[in-house]
Amino acid sequence: MWPFCGYNEIQKPRKKNNLINYEKLRKLVGIESYDLMKVHYKGWIEESLGSQETGRDDKWTSSIAVGNKGFVEKLELVLIGSVIGRKVKKAGEGCQLRAPSVPYEGNFDVKKDDIGPENRYFRDIIVD
């Protein structure tokens, strides 16, 4: 239903300013033609939406990268220093690169106090 998602771009490829390399995607999936790729992709999405498991999949929403072990390890090397403490972990048939989850600890202690003498300035300087 969201018009700016990858699904819509795959179903109706843009003529210019495209974000997806359609030919490479077709080859990676291993389908003979792009028209056939669109049909299969639509079927996969409909099947997924029709299943009971339509909730958030942590593997996709909390990972830096998801793929086979070689891909994830290669990306980890490329990102050296970008994400400290990241780890490659097994995820179903593949792997994922994840940053450690750190709880948010905001300091929201409100401090109400009178303005002290160190924050007051007197205008007793007269300029001629």
For residue 119, is pLDDT > 60? no
pLDDT for residue 76: 82
pLDDT for residue 113: 63
Amino acid at 83: V
Q: Which of 71, 63, 56, 48 is nearest to 99 (CA)?
A: 63
Q: Helix or strand or coil: residue 97? A: strand
pLDDT for residue 43: 92
Over the stretch 39-79, which tens digit does the pLDDT of each residue have?
999 998 888 888 766 677 777 777 888 888 888 888 888 87
Q: Residue 16, CB half-sphere, CA atoms under 13 Å: how many?
A: 0
Over the stretch 85-101, which tens digit does the pLDDT of each residue have?
677 777 777 888 877 66
